[in-house]
Amino acid sequence: MYTVAAIVAALVVFAGFAPTYYLKSVFGTPELSTLKHIHGVVMTAWFTLFFVQALLIAKGNTALHRQVGAWGILLAIAVVIAGITVGIASARAGVSPEPKIPPLVFLALPLGEMFTFAALFTAAILLRKRSPWHKRLMLVASVAMLTPAAARLPFAFIQQGAPLTLFAIADLVIVGCIAFDTMRNRRLHPAFAVGLGFVIVSQLGRLALTQTAAWMTFAKWVTA
């Protein structure tokens, strides 16, 4: 399940960013800044690591999985730094992946996403000796980052329903994993319940936060 989830996540990322990053030479899209190239490399490395780690466990190579995981902590830190930096830079430049969502409002999505990832990843690392919790929280942490890729998928219903549809794509992948895991084990694992609940609360919290004057004050301050 974890290997399949990693493949699905990678496909969503590739599909979303193919025109502007992976296949930009084919689509003839504008050149990217150095910062965006770094962000692209870091995020590609993370989803590649997600797949490799899942594959190592599937093959029973736990020792190598743990060795690679130590480097994964450094990569996770880079993911958060790059995600926050690019999100702020895009808002400062007046750019939003969703035309109907103002840049300062959209900024809540990447910043909230990085907070969610950091929290779930930290919990997964702290519970690394409790494998059932560790692997499920790591899956949720990774899949929850699919929102930026979802925002760039070329489907009208996604743009029309944004940002809820952006959240829904990531949530559906997580729900699919939970459904499979629950049927296989004949119970809902609490790690999945906690992880999905935290993601949904984070998503709804971002939507509520953007409607406040406090958020706009913060967004203007951080992009000044």
Q: CB–CB of 75/203 below 8 Å?
A: no
23-30 average pLDDT score? 87
Instruction: Give exposure, 30-43, as e/b (b: 16+ Cβ within 10 Å).
Output: eeeeeebebbbebb
For residue range 180-199, list pLDDT tens digits in order. Answer: 999 999 999 999 999 999 99
- Residue 136: strand, helix, or coil: helix
Number of neighbouring beta carbons within 10 Å of residue 211: 10
DSSP, res 59:
T
pLDDT at 198: 97
Q: Which amino acid is at 116?
A: T
148-176 average pLDDT score? 89
pTM of the complete model: 0.93
Token pair 């025109």: residue: 19
For residue range 203-223, list pLDDT tens digits in order. Answer: 999 999 999 999 999 999 999
**Residue 132 reports pLDDT greater than 90:** yes
